[in-house]
């Protein structure tokens, strides 16, 4: 540690000691008497917010502000402290100063400012998610995040008047944007080889969480392949610090059972030793086809995908627009298709109702969902929510998944959000397919990858901002017959193109065609 780092660490110890004793008068005297560089004191405000010691950060921010300090971290602390301690003047001051400081920065500096504040924003989000009632905490949070996120200012402009939905115009634009992913199945009536497969996926939704719910993707894949005429079985992976043992067990299972195909949770080969074990196993089984399936490829680096991809015959992804797939080492291996749903859930039965339904989870990595829902409640848009924390429900994976799919079907009108933590909306989520598979009307936050699978206006209703979402809610209430047509068309298209039997055929063709 350098002498400067040691000095800064000593300042932090002193400040945190005052806060730990609730000695805010002593903290004030310390800061006033301090000869520390202003940047050091700003970093202390950040550290206190991160702790979180909001009151201490707030006191330091007030002192620095009174001494003319102009800094986004200081302004953010004024807002957070004012909100926590009920000082509305400082709430407004922090918000106004942060907006002024952010807006006069060049774009590259704005990004650095947001990146610096993002951990503090996410922490405030985590605190808000702990509240029993989300509406006001999430809207308050939106109020400050808007100051450093211009995209959210336009997306959540509550003063914008909704333009009545023109479905025909929406269809014209949707058809122009549609670029369906090419999917080739076997010829009609062609015999199906009874292949043998091992499906080795993670067993839990979040392997690193205690008491996580079971993940359905392994059992639904097995159901799909067996329905197609293969002999497939599920092999659960532990992942959480057991990657080597997982790879050892997969290799042993393959050598014992001699499958034709191994469908592998691709992230397992992001670790060196598992790669070695799979390579050793494959030398003994040169005809084995190894398929790497990525659930969240957007979270993987190009280097990881390149290294792991070298060992796969086929890479299965639902996210076709990811730039990484264009890398020449793996581009020819990529199979782009939805994942099977594990069965046929039929078409619409219950009549459409004027209420949106959301069934899913809200966490720090998808916190925007909470803002959408809070904004809808504030605007009296009818919405029903079924919140999930992915906690073990004591049900077998398929039984739990079928219950979830029934909730979506019973909801009749499913709203789905696509924004990620970095505020991009390029990537699909499974719920887009699940809604249409169950016969629900899909109301979908705009996502470019939807154009690879469906047509906006014909199969679902897209929205990019809150005014558009209000227009969709009005349309469903005022023109239920037209909304019902879209609902039925979306389900019919899904079943004709993405039914499990179709997916299995595309997959068979990608492997052996």
Give the per-residue pLDDT at 426.
Answer: 67
The residue with greater pLDDT, 513 or 202, is: 202
- Read off the pLDDT of each residue in 366-390 and give the average, rounded to a whole number: 89
How far apart, in whole angstroms, are the C-alpha atoms of residue 462 and residue 449? 12
Q: Which two tokens stand for residue 84?
A: 């926590």
Q: Which has more pLDDT, 390 or 504?
A: 504
**pLDDT over 90 (residue 421):** no
> pLDDT tier at 494 (50, 70, 90 boundaries)?
very high
Are residues 259 and 196 in contact, defined by beta-carbon separation less than 8 angstroms?
Answer: yes
CA distance 70 to 81: 17
pLDDT(190) > 90:
no
Query: Quick check: 7 pLDDT over 80?
Result: no
pLDDT at 67: 85
Torsion, Cα 444 449 453 457, to 10 degrees, reads: 40
Span 404-417, average pLDDT: 94
Rounded to whole angstroms, how far apart are CA atoms 140 and 371?
Answer: 10
Q: How far apart are CA 443 and CA 271, in angstroms?
A: 39
* pLDDT at position 188: 84
Reply yes or no on whether the pLDDT at 9 is more than 90.
no
d(CA 194, CA 183): 21
For the chain, the maximum distance between any two Cα atoms, rounded to a whole number of angstroms, is 86
Whether the per-residue pLDDT at 487 is higher than 70: the answer is yes
Q: What is the pLDDT of residues 28-63, one digit of tens each?
A: 888 888 877 888 888 999 999 988 899 999 999 998
What is the rounded distance in angstroms from the CA atom of residue 238 to the CA atom of residue 220? 18
Highest mean pLDDT: which of 126-140, 182-196, 212-226?
212-226
pLDDT, tens digit, 9 for 90 and up, residues 286-314: 999 999 999 888 788 899 999 999 999 99
* Per-residue pLDDT at 404 exceeds 90: yes
| Cα 352 from Cα 483, distance rounded (Å) | 8
- Structure token pair of residue 350: 């219950």
**Residue 74 pLDDT exceeds 70:** yes
Average pLDDT on 322-351 reads 92
Other Cβ atoms closer than 10 A to 355: 15
Lowest mean pLDDT among 172-181, 337-346, 374-383, 388-397: 388-397
pLDDT(201) > 80: yes
Residue 259, pLDDT above cutoff 90: yes
Q: Cα dist. 391→189, 360, 399 in Å?
A: 44, 12, 15
CA distances from 482 to 26, 307, 356, 372, 441 (A): 67, 49, 16, 25, 11
Mean pLDDT, the chain, rounded, equals 91
pLDDT at position 437 is 96
Beta-carbon contacts of residue 511 (< 8 Å; ≥ 6 apart): 261, 289, 291, 313, 314
**pLDDT at 274 > cutoff 80:** yes
């Amino acid at each position: 540690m350098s002498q400067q780092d040691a000095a800064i660490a000593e300042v932090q110890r002193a400040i945190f000691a005052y806060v730990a004793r609730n000695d805010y008068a002593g903290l004030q005297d310390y800061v006033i008497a301090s000869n520390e560089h202003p940047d050091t004191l700003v970093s202390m405000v950040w550290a206190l917010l991160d702790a979180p010691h909001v009151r201490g950060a707030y006191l330091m921010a007030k002192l620095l502000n009174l001494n003319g300090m102009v800094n986004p971290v200081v302004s953010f602390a004024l807002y957070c402290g004012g909100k926590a301690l009920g000082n509305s003047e400082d709430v407004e001051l922090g918000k106004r100063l942060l907006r002024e400081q952010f807006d006069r920065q060049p774009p590259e500096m704005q990004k650095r400012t947001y990146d610096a504040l993002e951990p503090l924003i996410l922490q405030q989000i985590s605190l808000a998610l702990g509240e029993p009632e989300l509406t006001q905490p999430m809207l308050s949070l939106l109020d400050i995040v808007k100051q450093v996120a211009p995209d959210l200012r336009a997306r959540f402009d509550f003063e914008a008047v909704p333009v009545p939905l023109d479905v025909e115009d929406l269809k014209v634009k949707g058809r122009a944007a549609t670029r369906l992913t090419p999917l080739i199945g076997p010829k009609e009536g062609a015999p199906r080889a009874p292949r043998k497969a091992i499906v080795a996926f993670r067993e839990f939704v979040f392997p690193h969480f205690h008491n996580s719910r079971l993940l359905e993707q392994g059992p639904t894949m097995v159901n799909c392949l067996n329905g197609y005429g293969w002999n497939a079985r599920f092999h659960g992976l532990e992942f959480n610090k057991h990657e080597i043992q997982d790879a050892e067990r997969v290799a042993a299972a393959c050598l014992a059972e001699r499958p034709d195909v191994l469908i592998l949770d691709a992230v397992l080969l992001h670790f060196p030793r598992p790669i070695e074990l799979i390579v050793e196993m494959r030398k003994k089984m040169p005809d084995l086809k190894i398929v790497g399936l990525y659930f969240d490829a957007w979270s993987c680096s190009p280097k990881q995908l390149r290294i792991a991809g070298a060992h796969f015959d086929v890479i299965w992804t639902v996210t076709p627009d990811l730039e990484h797939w264009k890398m020449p080492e793996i581009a020819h291996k990529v199979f782009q298709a939805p994942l099977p749903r594990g069965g046929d859930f039929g078409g619409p039965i219950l009549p459409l109702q004027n209420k949106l339904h959301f069934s899913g989870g809200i966490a720090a990595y998808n916190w925007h969902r909470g803002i959408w829902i809070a904004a809808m409640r504030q605007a009296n848009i009818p919405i029903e929510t079924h919140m999930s924390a992915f906690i073990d429900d004591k049900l077998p994976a398929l039984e739990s998944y079928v219950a979830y799919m029934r909730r979506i079907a019973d909801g009749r009108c499913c709203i789905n959000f696509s924004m990620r933590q970095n505020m991009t909306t390029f990537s699909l989520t499974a719920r887009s397919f699940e809604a249409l598979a169950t016969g629900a009307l899909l109301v979908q936050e705009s996502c470019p990858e939807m154009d690879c699978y469906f047509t906006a206006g014909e199969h679902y209703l897209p929205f990019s901002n809150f005014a558009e979402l209000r227009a969709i809610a009005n349309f469903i209430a005022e023109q239920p017959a037209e909304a019902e047509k879209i609902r039925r068309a979306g389900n019919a298209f899904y079943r004709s193109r993405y039914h499990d039997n179709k997916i299995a055929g595309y997959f068979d063709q990608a492997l052996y065609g």
